[in-house]
């Protein structure tokens, strides 16, 4: 198994991963909601170490723009636990296969080197549903952040709501 990557302090990263063979990761809105719930749980456990600047959850992959506050392996802990928790949920709900991998790899994290690239990355992440033809207007996609709207973030999601 590859070594965990050490992430630099006070650095932004574009983090993403997809389901094996580009298959559907989230079959319905409840699955998307569950994944966001896991993000919220582990974000609270890592709030001293990282913050989420933008996110978008799509049927077969996800994107996060994360500000890493302290150096070390907390970003790996955060993403690894989200993916492991969702994989357990998925196996329980859809498949009883043991030992099967569901994500293509651990995850990918690209360092964001400057403010211009950060803004481009946030825009790319938040416009991803439009790029993939999931909606006609990007604001119709419920499972993304909205950097242009203050306060529109994971904390404001109504977890009881059936999307």
Q: pTM of this prediction? A: 0.78
What is the structure's pLDDT at 3? 57
| Domain range annotation of the chain | 11-156
CATH numeric code, 11-156:
3.30.70.1290
HEC assignment per residue over the chain: CCCCCCECCCEEEEEEEEEHHHCCCCCCHHHHHHHHHHHHHHHHHCCCCEEEEEEEECCCEEEEEEEECCCECHHHHHHHHHHHHHHHHHHHHHCCCCCCCCECCCCEEEEECCHHHHHHHHHHHHCHHHHCCCCCCHHHCCCECCCCCCCCCHHHCCCCCCC
**Is the confidence at residue 160, as pLDDT, over 60?**
no
* Predicted confidence (pLDDT) per residue in 27-73, tens digit: 888 988 899 999 999 998 888 888 899 999 888 889 999 988 877 67
* Predicted confidence (pLDDT) per residue in 107-131, tens digit: 778 888 889 999 999 999 998 888 8
């Amino acid at each position: 198994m590859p070594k965990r990557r050490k992430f630099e302090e006070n650095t932004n990263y574009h983090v993403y991963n997809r389901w094996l063979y580009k298959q559907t990761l989230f079959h319905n809105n409840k699955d998307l909601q569950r994944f966001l719930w896991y993000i919220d749980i582990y974000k609270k456990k890592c709030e001293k170490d990282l913050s989420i600047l933008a996110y978008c959850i799509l049927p077969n992959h996800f994107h996060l723009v994360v500000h890493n506050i302290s150096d070390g392996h907390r970003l790996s802990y955060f993403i690894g636990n989200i993916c492991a928790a969702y994989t357990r949920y998925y196996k329980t709900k859809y498949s009883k296969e043991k030992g099967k991998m569901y994500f293509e790899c651990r995850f990918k994290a690209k360092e964001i080197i400057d403010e211009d690239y950060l803004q481009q990355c946030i825009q790319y992440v938040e416009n991803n549903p439009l790029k993939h033809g999931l909606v006609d207007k990007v604001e119709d996609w419920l499972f993304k952040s909205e950097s242009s709207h203050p306060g529109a973030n994971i904390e404001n999601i109504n977890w009881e709501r059936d999307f």
